[in-house]
Amino acid sequence: MTVMNKGKATTQAPQFPFLAHPKPRPGQLEMIQDSIKALEQGGFHLAAAPTGIGKTAASLAAALHVASLQPQRKTVFFLTSRQTQHRIVVDTVRKINEQRKGMAPIRLVDMVGQAGMCVQEFAKESSVVFSLMCSQARKSRSCRPWITSAPGLKERILEAPLHVDELVSLTRTHTVNGEVTQACPWKVAREAVNGADVFVGDYNHLFDEGVRESSLKAMDLSLEDIIVVVDEAHNLPDRIRLTLEKRLTQTMIRNTFAELEEYVGTLQQSLTMPGGETLQPTYDLAHWAFEVIQTSRKSFADFFSRLRSSLVGDKEECEVEVSSLLNVFHRACDEVDGIVGQKNLNESPIAPQHRVDPAVRIHQLRDILASVDVDMDAGDDGNPMEPNAHRVAQILDCLIRFGSTTAMTMVYDTKGKDGRITTHLLDPGLVSKPVITGSYGAILMSGTLYPPTMYANILSLPASKTTAVAYPSPFAAMRRPVLVASDVTTKYTERTPQNTELIRQHIQSLIDTTPGNVAVFAPSYALLNSIVSETDFRGVRMMVEDRNWTKQDLDQVVETLLEEKKAGRKILLAGVFNARLSEGVDYHSGALDAVACIGIPNSPPSVLSSALKTYAEERFGRNLAWKYTVSQPAINSILQAMGRPIRSIGDRALIVLLDRRVTERTYTSCFPDDLRMNEAATPESTGHFARRFFKKIHPDSTLE
């Protein structure tokens, strides 16, 4: 693996035919060149690219340049975990086309989730109700937009880059033979991708196996003809893990039994219809699965009861052996197949020609459960678009794919009526490696993809084809200084009333000397409430993040900040690391002037964190394991929060870290090399530093 820490570019910037502006920004030239070099060799480039470098434009300039040189068409998949980033990508491609006057324009398709593009009235319903109604409407062919053909609509979508809302509006006004023809925007957009140069969508289009198979088939694309760009790539490992986080409860087993009973009954009726004899093998297999689940119900009740009984003291969770869960299914199969108990092979309801070896019958059970087709009612356990049988099939699929390795662990906890078992994939590289290496090439980038070598290792990218570069921030240290309060900490053993009061005084000093709004982030809602929410800070209006905030609430945050600042008033915005205020909001136009980060967001001890650390030790060794699973993720959460007020090259902001532990060697090695820390030994020192900074440094629109 090639690893570099880049300095400032000194070479003359060449002309790039797919750059969104006349010349590259500082640092952007190097990122373009490094990305092109990697892609030309069919490789993968990881870029820790801070805000202001113009990483969206850089990645598109490189990916489109390489795609244009290939004899066979390549499509750029720009994948992001945030819908707000979609608009930035579309606007960037529009600017590219403006620069390419007289040349073929770049064609783009922008997509979000199906509900977000639906034109039916039920799109306004909750996600659960929407999934149910959409599924039923498509199945019954009562959704007219879904079944309507709209000739020429694909070409209109590709004429010029459209934001997804503009694409949806276009489908409402598309005419065929003089009449408006309403087609499903999601379906038409997906089918238009095979004619686009750039597709903008969510991670799951490639990194969720089921979605990838259906998406690429509908788009008529092959993975090897895709150049992948992953934005906010620091989120990719956790998104992959989350995709394979499946939960099993006794209620799911009960509901699966009911669904199989209905499914078998439907098949039995179909057997009596003309030509129904062709369904006999399907009926036999479904009846066998029904018997297996019926037989397993008591065993599952006993299994969950034993897990709960194994917890001692105040423990609320424990690890579950994969083999012990699979054995519940195997014993049920044995009994149904007559291998144990009172049944014998001749009494087995499954025909002899359909009996399979025990080594592969779990695969058979998975496939049968995945094929169950029943009508679901709103309010049923889980997502009504997806029968419980399908969810159990997904769990079996996880165990089949990863259960024989140390990369999968399962955890039982006491939440819910009878507790639940959750699958956890410890190694996201098992999913990311075949996708990324199977593509034509990839660029993975983020402002907090630090260190990029760590993410290359976690995602299992081959060293021989991977480059990893940490680019310097284009912001001079004077425009975003970092101040560490050396007299406070959130270390549990030192959380005294005096320490808490000092933290509050540092925040008050920051408020008093900052001309605009201040954001405060803490490791947990409990700590945030104890330090910030219970305090009446002078000179500000409080806005405290709530778990129940809707998307509309979040959309209003920045507008409120800007309105209050314009009126000469201040807001203290309080949130939590890794939550929506610290990652999912774009504080543009100088909405924030300062950020205070309270503590270090280390994950609390748990069965999962212990398993993750043990697995990382096996893969990377003890020293890297601690960094990869504990210290670096915590510091990256702080870095993400630190970057909130700096959204463009002309911004300026002061960062205050309210925990002296960040200066310890364990953590200092996790910060970027070009970050310099200043010390404040008292709240008064924080105020003096802030006053000097804001007096000397002002926002500079000439740097945009």
pLDDT given at position 5? 53
Element (H, E) at 684: helix 683-696
Check whether 563 has a pLDDT greater than 60.
yes
pLDDT in tens, 475-512: 666 788 999 999 999 998 999 999 999 999 999 999 99
Query: Can you name the residues that pair with 518 across neighbouring β-strands?
Result: 572, 594
Q: How far is CA 659 from CA 299, 374, 595, 668, in A?
A: 50, 55, 14, 12
Q: What's 340's DSSP letter?
A: S
Check whether 14 has a pLDDT greater than 60.
no
Give the list of residues 6+ apart from residue 245 with CB closer than 8 angstroms, or none: 422, 423, 424, 425
Q: Which of 120, 339, 77, 95 shows the shortest CA–CA distance to 231?
A: 77
Question: Can you give the three-state secondary structure of 67-81, one letter per residue?
Answer: HHCCCCCCEEEEECC
pLDDT in tens, 202-237: 999 999 998 999 999 999 999 999 999 999 999 999
pTM: 0.89
pLDDT in tens, 659-676: 999 999 999 999 998 888
pLDDT given at position 704? 56
Q: Comparing 126-130, 145-149, 373-377, 628-632, which segment has the lowest mean pLDDT? A: 373-377
Task: Band the pLDDT of 345: cuts 50, 70, 90.
Answer: very low
pLDDT given at position 548? 81
pLDDT in tens, 504-556: 999 999 999 999 999 999 999 999 999 998 788 999 999 998 888 877 788 79
Phi (first) and psi of residue 319, to 5 degrees:
-80, 145
Q: What's the average model confidence in pLDDT over 242-251?
A: 95
The answer to whether residues 381 and 388 touch, using CB atoms and an 8 Å cutoff, is yes
Give the list of residues 6+ apart from residue 287 with CB closer than 8 angstroms, or none: 264, 349, 350
Element (H, E) at 436: helix 429-438
Task: Band the pLDDT of 6: cuts 50, 70, 90.
Answer: low
121-124-130 Cα angle (round to 5): 85
Report how far residue 660's alpha carbon sits from residue 501's, in angstroms, rounded to the nearest whole number.
15
Report how far residue 339's alpha carbon sits from residue 90's, in angstroms, rounded to the nearest whole number.
61
The answer to whether residues 48 and 447 touch, using CB atoms and an 8 Å cutoff, is yes
R_g of the chain computed on alpha carbons: 28
Residue that is written with structure tokens 């030192």 in the block? 494
Query: Can you name the residues that pair with 410 across neighbouring β-strands?
Result: 320, 423
- In 310-423, where does DSSP find H-type helix? 322-336, 358-370, 388-402
Q: Which residues of 276-297 are buried (b: 16+ CB within 10 A; e: fewer)?
A: eeebeebbbbbbbbbbbbbbbe
Report how far residue 356's alpha carbon sits from residue 92's, in angstroms, rounded to the nearest whole number.
56
Q: What's 644's DSSP letter?
A: T
Task: State how far Cα 561 lies from the chain centre.
Answer: 27
Give the list of residues 6+ apart from residue 428 with CB closer than 8 angstroms, or none: 236, 237, 238, 240, 241, 458, 459
- In 452-594, where does DSSP find H-type helix? 452-458, 497-513, 525-528, 551-566, 580-583
Question: What is the residue-averaged pLDDT of the chain?
Answer: 89
Check whether 353 has a pLDDT greater than 80.
no
Report how far residue 602's alpha carbon sits from residue 589's, in angstroms, rounded to the nearest whole number.
31
- In 144-249, where does DSSP find H-type helix? 144-147, 153-159, 164-173, 185-192, 204-207, 209-219, 236-243
Q: What's the average model confidence in pLDDT over 173-196?
A: 87
Report how far residue 175's alpha carbon sits from residue 185's, in angstroms, rounded to the nearest whole number.
14
Q: Determine what percent of the chain is predicted with pLDDT higher than 90.
A: 70
Token pair for 83? 């819908």
Q: How far is CA 101 from CA 20, 98, 156, 426, in A?
A: 12, 6, 19, 49
Q: What's the average model confidence in pLDDT over 376-401?
A: 74
Q: Comparing 137-146, 284-293, 321-330, 349-358, which segment has the lowest mean pLDDT? A: 349-358
pLDDT given at position 649? 74
Check whether 351 has a pLDDT greater than 70.
no
Report how far residue 696's alpha carbon sits from residue 700's, in angstroms, rounded to the nearest whole number.
12
Helix, strand or coil for residue 11?
coil
Q: Comparing 86-90, 92-96, 275-279, which segment has the lowest mean pLDDT? A: 275-279
CA atoms within a 13 Å half-sphere pointing along the CA-CB vector of 80: 23
Check whether 52 has a pLDDT greater than 80.
no
Q: What's the average model confidence in pLDDT over 105-117?
A: 93
Helix, strand or coil for residue 279?
helix
The answer to whether residues 641 and 523 touch, using CB atoms and an 8 Å cutoff, is no
The answer to whether residues 348 and 336 touch, using CB atoms and an 8 Å cutoff, is yes
Q: Which of 523, 486, 681, 491 shows the shortest CA–CA distance to 598?
A: 523
Task: Band the pLDDT of 376: cuts 50, 70, 90.
Answer: low
Report how far residue 238's alpha carbon sits from residue 435's, in angstroms, rounded to the nearest whole number.
16
**pLDDT greater at residue 247 or residue 144:** 247
pLDDT given at position 107? 97
Q: What's the average model confidence in pLDDT over 310-321?
A: 93
Q: What's the average model confidence in pLDDT over 30-40?
A: 96
pLDDT in tens, 608-629: 999 999 999 999 999 899 999 9
Report how far residue 244's alpha carbon sits from residue 423's, in angstroms, rounded to the nearest whole number.
7
Token pair for 442? 């990839």
Residue that is written with structure tokens 């379906």 in the block? 187
Q: What's the average model confidence in pLDDT over 46-56?
A: 89
**pLDDT greater at residue 382 or residue 291:** 291
Element (H, E) at 576: strand 571-576
Q: What's 491's DSSP letter?
A: -
Check whether 355 has a pLDDT greater than 60.
no
Token pair for 253? 């087993």
Domains of the chain and CATH, by start: 35-117+150-243+429-470 (3.40.50.300), 250-418 (no CATH), 477-703 (3.40.50.300)
Region of 470 (left: φ > 0; alpha: ψ -120 to 50; beta: rest) is: beta
User: Is beta strand 408-413 parallel, antiparallel or unpaired with respect to 420-425?
Assistant: antiparallel
Residue that is written with structure tokens 């196996």 in the block? 209
The answer to whether residues 570 and 564 touch, using CB atoms and an 8 Å cutoff, is yes
Give the list of residues 6+ apart from residue 189 with CB closer than 8 angstroms, or none: 109, 110, 111, 117, 157, 164, 167
Token pair for 647? 């959204």
pLDDT given at position 347? 46
pLDDT given at position 375? 66
Q: What's the average model confidence in pLDDT over 602-608?
A: 93
Strands (E), 353-451: 408-413, 420-425, 441-446
Phi (first) and psi of residue 291, to 5 degrees:
-65, -40
Peptide bond into 451 cis (omega under 30): yes
Strands (E), 190-291: 198-201, 226-230, 247-248
pLDDT given at position 572? 97
Q: Determine what percent of the chain is predicted with pLDDT higher than 70.
A: 92
Q: What's the average model confidence in pLDDT over 181-201?
A: 93
